[in-house]
Structure 1
Amino acid sequence: MAKGILLVESHPSSPERDAEFNEWYETVHMPEVLALDGFVSARRFRPVRPGEPYVAVYDIEADDVTAAAKGVFAAAKSGGFNMSDSMQFDPPPAMRILELTAEQSAP
């Protein structure tokens, strides 16, 4: 079984909607993504410098990491997610699919 991540960079639609954006992302959107086949966990990071994106990292374990990640695109396209206008869509969130090549732990 392969391991990988879906890395998503996103912004609130306006600074005034930051709290609303974070509430929706963490209580609605992340659980919807984690319900998809192959998605096993998620982490979210806030920017430490103004204007930079929030980053979500979804861990994937599947025979085909790319196919599992494409499930997110399919769900978004078919209306399978409860999207919020508190997220900026112009430009849309940046997404990258990455497959694990090496793993190490601290001694």
Structure 2
Amino acid sequence: MTKHVFMIITEAPSPEEEEAFEAWYVGQHMPDVLAVPGFTAAQRYRLAPDPDLPGAPMRFLTIYEMECDDRTAVMAEVRRRAGTMQMPLFPGDRKSAPTTIFAEAVTDRLLAPTGE
């Protein structure tokens, strides 16, 4: 099976909803995505501020790891589930559309030396 990463950059709909959005994202949405066959792991990051882009809108990065032979089919299943009881969406309007990036592994994963 081919290893992929799916990266998505998001922000809360509003500053007032950030806490609720993050609770939903980590407690509901990430587990719902990981329930889709083909996804193997996920981790959420807070983006570091860029001094050259004050007020940059996107604030969080989620990296999903996938192992599958047909990424298109896996993402079609995500879209099928989105907005259903299998994958409820955060209520309300989004301030901006999320940015998504896919990448396919072209090398084995390298690990740093342990120092032994």
TM-score with structure 1 setting the length: 0.84
- Following superposition of structure 1 onto structure 2, how do residues 1-107 of structure 1 map, counting pairs within 5 Å? 1-49=1-49, 51-76=57-82, 79=84, 80-85=86-91, 89-102=94-107, 103-107=109-113
* Unaligned segments of structure 2, at least 5 residues: 50-54
> Which is helix-richer, 1 or 2?
1
* Higher alpha-carbon Rg: 2
Equivalent pairs: percent with the same residue? 30
Which aligned segments of 4 or more residues in structure 1 are displaced greater than 4 angstroms?
Answer: none
Using the TM superposition, give the Cα deviation of residue 47 of structure 1 relative to its aligned residue in structure 2, in angstroms. 2.1
What SS class does the counterpart of residue 48 from structure 1 fall into?
A: coil
Distance of 1:70 and 1:45 partners within structure 2 = 25
Q: CA RMSD in A?
A: 1.9
Aligned residues: 105
Distance change >3 Å, CA 29–CA 21, structure 1 → 2: same
